[in-house]
Amino acid sequence: MRVLFTTHPASGHFHPLVPLARALQQAGHEVAFASAEVYRSTVEHNGFHFLPAGIEIGGGVPPEQMRERMMQMLRMPSEELFKLVAQMFIGVLARSMLPDLLKVTAQWRPDVIVRDTIEFSAPIVADRLGIPCASVQVGAARPRDMMNEAALAHIRALRASVDLPPGSPEELLFDDLHLCFAPPFYLGQVPLSPTTHYLRSALFDQSGDERLPEWAARLGERPVVYATLGTVVNKMQEVLGVILEGLRDEPVDLVMTVGRDQDPAAFGPQPPHVHVERYIPQTLLFPKCDLAIIHGGYGSVTSALTHGLPVVVVPIAADQPINAARCQEMGVGRVLDVQTMTPAQVRDTVREVLANPSYRAASRRYQQEAESLPGIEYGVALVERLAAQKTPVLAPSTPSN
């Protein structure tokens, strides 16, 4: 079986697909990834065949302009935000990827396509080729959240460009198979789609050569706090500066990662208990931590909770406010307003979350629920069934909450 994964060239889109892709490889199937040329080295470094399709997200946008866009997104009501997402990910990125994907699939000829949920050209190409399409949840936005009128108009225009009928909203709402590596309750009480299957968390974040630094072996004599803004909104270094100022003099070991594209030296010299690095795989670091300060990206949140860690969430853009609100509802941590937070608020919030055992207890409830779900081998079996039967793989029953 040939399985083609399609993804945008960013860690938050690529990383969630890797565990399933590797499991399919190990089961004897041929796997390839289609993404923008800028991501070729990352895909090939991780052992996958690469097929060029699409363009870079925000390529060439100056950091100052990127920060302004993020702040605009933070202030948008959810309805306007999803319209912006539709324009960006369907009107621009999917439109650019569609002709490339048609070309590479004509040569490579997959039996099934698996996409990240924000990559919208794949289901159109799959429909055009008459093959099934699956998706993997990569953010807090649910399929129905994305299907606003703006999104439907963009998708129908793209379908018309390859001589496909427009399709009903119900037909465009879900793929033949949808895999979510998180407990059912995390993204709401209603199932994401009729074809949604929930699987045990399968984490991957070692797409580069980074490993734990030598000093990590000495962590643990006092609480370990990890702070990150991920790999996209990390351009807002002033936010990291506020976190650093708030915790530099606290009796904790602070580990802060600023991103592969940022310079730790920009934050100046630090005391011995403060470590500023470019990138450390969270799956290696989280077992040593007592608290994570995160931007609310879907991957960072679900990874922290899978490790049973309480969180302090500082949402900035995209689906981060949704994840932050969900964390607050579940009682796994606290949320800080990026526009108004001060070093003192960071310090006091971290003190409270570390001192109150209810936050860690709530995180461990998520961890236990996640561990009770079927493993990655079930996901492989579902993709195999989809490719063989070429009909939607419906969920056996509505998940309980």
Q: What is the pLDDT of residues 219-273, one digit of tens each?
A: 988 999 999 987 666 667 888 999 999 999 999 999 999 888 788 888 899 999 9
| Residue 400: predicted pLDDT | 41
Alpha-carbon gap, residue 252 to 240, rounded angstroms = 17
Q: Where in the chain is the domain with CATH 3.40.50.2000?
A: 2-200+373-389, 214-370
Angstrom distance (rounded) from CA 194 to CA 393: 9
Q: What is the pLDDT of residues 157-185, one digit of tens each?
A: 999 999 999 988 777 777 899 999 999 99
CA–CA gap between residue 373 and residue 381 (Å, rounded): 15
- The number of residues making up the chain comes to 401
Domain 214-370, CATH number (from 3.30.460.80, 3.40.50.2300, 3.30.1600.10, 3.40.50.2000):
3.40.50.2000
- Computed over every residue of the chain, the mean pLDDT equals 89
Q: Which residues contact 396 (CB under 8 A, 6 or more apart)?
A: none
Residues 346/337, Cβ–Cβ less than 8 Å:
no
Check residue 256 and give its pLDDT: 93
Judged by DSSP in three states, 228 sits in: strand
Q: What is the pLDDT of residues 28-64, one digit of tens each?
A: 999 999 999 999 999 999 999 999 999 987 655 455 5
Going by the DSSP 8-state scheme, the letter that residue 12 receives in this structure is: H
User: Among the listed ranges 10-24, 194-208, 344-358, which one has the minimum average pLDDT value?
Assistant: 194-208
pLDDT computed for residue 399 by the predictor: 43
Q: Strands, DSSP E only, in 234-290?
A: 253-257, 274-277
* One-letter amino acid for residue 299 of the chain: G
Nearest to 222 by CA among 339, 350, 114: 350
Q: Answer yes or no: is pLDDT of 312 > 70.
A: yes
Specify whether the backbone of 36 is left (phi greater than 0), alpha (psi in -120 to 50) or beta.
beta
pLDDT in tens, 87-105: 888 888 999 999 999 999 9
pLDDT of 72 strictly over 70: no
The pTM assigned to this predicted structure is 0.91
Burial of 301 from C-beta contacts in 10 A (0-12 / 13-18 / 19+): buried
State the Cα–Cα distance between residues 42 and 210, nearest whole angstrom: 13
Nearest-CA neighbor of 172 among 151, 196, 201?
151
Q: Which CATH architecture has domain 2-200+373-389?
A: 3-Layer(aba) Sandwich (3.40)
Supply the angle between the helices 149-161 and 122-129 in degrees, to the nearest 10.
40
Of 388, 332, 401, nearest in space to 177 by CA: 388
Fill in the amino acid letter for 17. L
Going across the sheet that includes 112-116, the strands are 49-52, 30-35, 2-6, 112-116, 133-136, 177-180, 196-198
Residue 192's pLDDT is 80
> Is the pLDDT score of 323 beyond 50?
yes
